[in-house]
Amino acid sequence: PHFALVWLGMGGDGHIASLFPNTDPKADDTRLLRRLTPDPLPPEAPFDRITLTIPALLKSDALLFTLGGSMEKRALFEAASRGENDLPIARLLSAANAQVACFA
């Protein structure tokens, strides 16, 4: 698939599209879709997830992030500005060739 726009939020732990830090998402994943289990399972959503992989998300003309909360803003800032962590958001942004916009 190719998307004109991928619109994402982000969790305070840096997860995007159900790609949690513990699921070890790869920018070179050969699959476009994965079934993942967050660990630990959040009590408010204790179930497996189906998600697009980073390569699938990168098949877009633009990435748009809408964020809420100071933890989320800080995680995105750290990932985008320094690239010092290995959070899923950092992996996506470091591999992105598309236009990226963020609304906090």
pLDDT tens figures, 36-62: 998 888 899 899 999 999 999 999 999
Give CA–CA dist 34/51, Å, rounded.
Answer: 6
Is 62 exposed, middle or buried, given 0-12, 13-18 or 19+ CB atoms closer than 10 A? middle
Tell me which H or E stretch contains 52. strand 49-52
Are 91 and 23 a contacting pair, CB within 8 Å? no
- pLDDT category at 27 given cuts 50, 70, 90 is confident
Q: Where are the domains of the chain?
A: 6-103
Q: Is the pLDDT of residue 102 over 90?
A: no
CATH architecture, range 6-103: 3-Layer(aba) Sandwich (3.40)
Query: Model pTM?
Result: 0.85
